[in-house]
Copies of this chain bind each other. A is one copy, B any other.
């Protein structure tokens, strides 16, 4: 089925604990893959306002990720430092590679990209810069501090 993003709801919410939400407050996601009834992987159309991040810097134990830049210029931050991704450029982040990464819009224009990630069960997310861990559960992501304590 054809997916027209104009007909797909946008969300600006984040399931991060409150202290991390401001980092992604300029992020708008549209779940295109869900709209097409895909279940094995997600495809999101993401719009990032200037200064907003895609996510906290992180890596997944079991899930692969891929991104394709549709509009604008975004900064990829990973163990390799900062790299600019322009329109038409792509990046992949294989499961289990201990290379925390995220995208930051350091430009003064909106950035639009596609993000694709599979839904392999039992995934765990490591955040090298922040006191948070995520684990996938049947009910969604569960976040704790690195000492196992819960966020309020």
Residues of A within 8 A of B (CB): 1-5, 32-33, 35-41, 43, 63-64, 66, 68, 70, 76, 80, 83, 85, 88-95, 97, 114, 116, 118, 120
Whose C-beta in chain B lies nearest to the C-beta of A37? B94
A36 and B116 contact, Cβ closer than 8 Å, known pairs A43-B66, A83-B2: no
Cα–Cα, bound, A96→B35 (Å) = 16
Are B91's CB and A43's CB within 8 A? no
Are A1's CB and B91's CB within 8 A? yes
Are B41's CB and A92's CB within 8 A? no
| Number of chain copies forming the complex | 2
Decide if the interface of chain A is mainly helix, strand, loop or mixed. mixed
CB distance from A71 to the nearest CB of B (A): 10
Cα–Cα, bound, A124→B38 (Å) = 17
User: For A64, what are the chain B residues with a Cβ–Cβ distance below 8 Å?
Assistant: 33, 38-41
User: For A68, what are the chain B residues with a Cβ–Cβ distance below 8 Å?
Assistant: 68, 114
Give me 10 other A-B pairs in contact (C-beta within 8 A), A43-B92, A43-B116 excluded. A2-B91, A36-B66, A36-B93, A37-B97, A39-B95, A40-B64, A41-B66, A41-B118, A43-B90, A116-B116
Whose C-beta in chain B lies nearest to the C-beta of A76? B2
Whose C-beta in chain B lies nearest to the C-beta of A94? B37
Are A40's CB and B2's CB within 8 A? no
